[in-house]
Amino acid sequence: MLFLKVCASSSAASTARKMAGVGITFVFLAASAVAQKAAAPSNKQLASAAIERKVDSLLKQMTLEEKIGQLVQYNDSGYAGAADAAQLAANPEARNGVNSMELAASGKLGSMLNTVGAEKTNAFQHAAVDKSRLHIPLLFGADIIHGYRTIYPQPLGLGATFDPELVKDVAHMSAVEATTAGVRWFYSPMVDISRDARWGRTTEGAGEDAYLGAAMARAYIQGYQGDDLSNPESVAASVKHFAAYGAAEAGREYNTTDMSEIRLRQDYLPPYKAAVEAGAATIMSAFNALNGVPATANPFLLQKVLRDEWGFDGFVVSDYTAIMELTHHGIALDPATATRKAFLAGVDVDMMSHYYDTELPGLIRSGQVPMSVVDESVRRVLRVKFALGLFEHPYARGTEITAAVSEHRPLVRKAAEESFVLLKNDAVQGNPVLPLSSGAKKIALIGPLGDNPGEMLGSWSGGPQLSDVVTIKAALESRAKKNDGSVVFEKGTEFTGTSDSGFAGAVQAAKQADVAVLALGESGVMSGEAGSRAHLDLPGNQEQLLEAVAATGKPIVLLVFSGRPLVLTWAAQHVAAIMEVWFPGTEAGSAIADVLYGDVSPSGKLPMSFPWAVGQEPLYYNQFPTGRPATGIDLMQPPGGDSRFFSRYIDVPNRALFPFGFGLTYTQFSYGKVSLSRTAVPLREANVQGARNLMTATATVTNAGSRAATEVVQCYVGNLGASVEQPIRSLQGFARVTLKPGESRQVSFPLGFDELSFYNSENRAVVEPTQYTVWVGDSSLATDSAEFKVNP
Ligand code: BGC
């Protein structure tokens, strides 16, 4: 009965998708019924009566070939399997008969990827607009991940800023730049939660936490899309990779993920959901399988969650050749089956698989794919194109930006400064090493990142010119000059070096200096896509170089460059000052000098836990309780006698070396007691979706030191007594607060249904009558807390 009712009230197309979809069962129907409430387009930027009318009129005129064309995406090399342009140049036959220019001219291509530059995009666009029968413009998408020409820190570094407003600004800045090259669609933000530092793509997201990830996801969407997608400076976002790609087993790239639905909904989906709620125009499906079903053919994710529950109106694009890869996953024996499974699951656009154009016609003819489903997907693509105003402004905007923009430099410098996390700053001869004292005149700058413009940028930074990048050497030299000082640079070793022939020079330079600044860490390609690592130490023999320099006894500042948490255990025990700088971008050197010299106090906080040892991975702060908690046991000691049978390691502590939310600065902040607006909340008031401000937690933070600085005040919530185990605590609020010496500020965190609810065994978000603890403090180890109850 329910089934019939749903069919009757559902659009024909979405019903067809549901009926024809792979593995869609009756269990799914209850949610479909719920979803009907959200079926009408709800995204204000995409859905308007005017747009729907235009789409209707165009759809009526389109041939099947033209419709399928809108669902096909190639790069400018046409199709060469998974081959890149270089391979194609070597073997033009690899093109498989697909020529993007010809396809564009005949209306058989809807969008292009990583085709960038005004000349190029305009040429393809002219082919589509001038020559194709219906003059439908192409949509150019590209991996503009952290800036186009003026590069800002990688998303993980931006996560460390805990500053969504800043993220919105830099995202907008890159849209302003890239739209001059004809790009109106970014394959960004990557909102995959990653709790495993071995996974290389950790660098592309905001880290391990769902709340922080959701805040950043919203900020990117607002920055890219603005209030009006049709503004020629706006770009459509593609939120990726849907879903749970960041939980790839053992951190190995493209590996399978397997998790309970509770964990998926509670810890992995919130950033994607936040992005959809913020109006994201498109979503990219992920490479991985989730609980046995590849995300690119996963009706649970793409239909039930994304469309039925969240009411997503935009289109879904596959990841690169991911539809073809369904055969590798073993869920399709042939291209036709892969196409049918992906398409009926809800993937609208085929990125580079060369399957939709070859297979969909036959599947439609044989009735395996209903025409209504095709129309529905074409509608979604056209909706985004109309919303972007592409029919009115198809070409690259204004004058093409080809180099870093000087007016954008202050913003990317600020972003870099805010991203740095001071992990350690011990006193040497009575004073903390940082900021550098006026006595620190002679600086020995050592390491493969000391004078290396390309490696200041990290992965996915194709656009910039290296001459635009400020290196550490250049910035420190100019600062040292003002201070009557000098800088001696010694590379010391290579990234993955094994030779110690450069060590002597480095040691000599350190001996003659007042302070040694070591710029060590990963190269850009060691993280990012296909950058999984099984070891998380400083690569090559960089740690030996550090040890050799440390043996001089000179004060050391270690600058760590990395796209992920590294194991810094030796450094934490032997080096006076350590600062994580990720990959800072175009203004790397200037930002580093600003912070080293104390013009700016560091304010970044870790968006991921830094482990003692790689064997702790996946490591995250919002752990669940166990029946044998190791509370009160000295985990620095190997177990003996009574201390063995607890949830612990015998060789490292349980906790992180540097925990989530942690970061020092050049002053000290003190916290007053946490106070709550009331002692209890009745369940009938609390267990209401959308209920806000059920409880307010307030604490006073004071700058108790002698320098102005910014603190990221963090609010964590935990509860006991629920029907399912809850994490010991999880982040539910944060605020950046800048205080002068001696200044205090009250900071309040409103807690509503979203902050207090959790998923129960029916996978529903609920508040139950339980006992809550709220902590407010400077990291996930915050100790000041207060308690309240949700009464039955
Ligand atoms: C990556 C995506 C990227 C796409 C297009 C894939 O390999 O996983 O993140 O957007 O390529 O370049």
Distance (Å, rounded) from C-alpha 619 to C-alpha 196?
6
pLDDT confidence of residue 15: 58
Helix (H, G, I), strand (E, B) or coil at 379: helix
How far does residue 460's CA lie from ligand 1's centre (Å)? 10
Distance (Å, rounded) from C-alpha 79 to C-alpha 83?
8
- Taking CA atoms only, the protein residue closest to ligand 1 atom 12 is 143
Q: Output b/e per residue, 575-593; b: 16+ Cβ within 10 A.
A: bbbbbbbbbbbbbbbbbbb
For residue 198, what are its two tokens?
A: 């071995």
Q: Provide the mean pLDDT of the chain.
A: 93
Q: What is the mean pLDDT of residues 570-574?
A: 98
Share above pLDDT 90 across residues of the chain, in percent, rounded to a whole number: 87
- Taking CA atoms only, the protein residue closest to ligand 1 atom 7 is 320
pLDDT tens across 360-400, in order? 999 999 999 999 999 999 999 999 999 999 999 999 999 99
On whether the CB atoms of residues 138 and 393 are closer than 8 A, the answer is no
- Taking CA atoms only, the protein residue closest to ligand 1 atom 11 is 320
Distance (Å, rounded) from C-alpha 188 to C-alpha 204?
9
pLDDT tens across 319-331, in order? 999 999 999 999 9
Distance (Å, rounded) from C-alpha 772 to C-alpha 765?
16
Q: What is the mean pLDDT of residues 112-139?
A: 96
pLDDT tens across 523-558, in order? 999 999 999 999 999 999 999 999 999 999 999 999
How far does residue 671's CA lie from ligand 1's centre (Å)? 44
Q: What is the mean pLDDT of residues 583-601?
A: 98
The secondary element (H helix, E strand) that includes residue 103 is helix 100-105
DSSP line for 558-594: EEEE-SS----HHHHHH-SEEEE-----TTHHHHHHH
For residue 738, what are its two tokens?
A: 């800048």
Q: How far apart are the first and last CA of the chain?
A: 36
Helix (H, G, I), strand (E, B) or coil at 325: coil
Indicate if the pLDDT at residue 35 is higher than 70.
no
Q: Which of 144, 319, 325, 350 to mutate to test the pocket of ligand 1 (most atoms within 8 A of CB)?
A: 319
How far does residue 319's CA lie from ligand 1's centre (Å)? 6
28 lines ligand 1 (CB under 6 A): no
How far does residue 707's CA lie from ligand 1's centre (Å)? 44
Decide if 130 is catalytic. Answer: no
Distance (Å, rounded) from C-alpha 541 to C-alpha 527?
18
204 lines ligand 1 (CB under 6 A): no
Q: What is the mean pLDDT of residues 41-54?
A: 87
715 lines ligand 1 (CB under 6 A): no
Indicate if the pLDDT at residue 4 is higher than 50.
no
580 lines ligand 1 (CB under 6 A): no
How far does residue 188's CA lie from ligand 1's centre (Å)? 10
Share above pLDDT 70 across residues of the chain, in percent, rounded to a whole number: 92
Q: What is the mean pLDDT of residues 213-223?
A: 98
Q: How far is C-alpha 614 from the geometric centre of its chain's CA atoms?
A: 22
pLDDT confidence of residue 87: 60
Q: Which of 139, 140, 255, 529 to mutate to test the pocket of ligand 1 (most atoms within 8 A of CB)?
A: 529
- Taking CA atoms only, the protein residue closest to ligand 1 atom 4 is 320
pTM above 0.85, yes or no: yes
Give the Cβ contact number of residue 367 at 10 Å.
9
Cβ neighbours of residue 150 closer than 8 Å, sequence gap 6 or more: 173, 174, 177, 404, 405, 408, 409, 412, 464, 468, 585, 586
Domains and CATH numbers, the chain: 49-139+253-387 (3.20.20.300), 416-596 (3.40.50.1700)
On whether the CB atoms of residues 713 and 701 are closer than 8 A, the answer is yes
pLDDT tens across 626-675, in order? 999 998 888 888 888 788 999 999 999 999 999 999 999 999 999 999 99
Q: What is the mean pLDDT of residues 193-208?
A: 98
Q: Which of 556, 559, 518, 526 is nearest to 416 (CA)?
A: 559
459 lines ligand 1 (CB under 6 A): no
pLDDT confidence of residue 482: 86
163, 169, 196, 319: which one is catalytic? 319
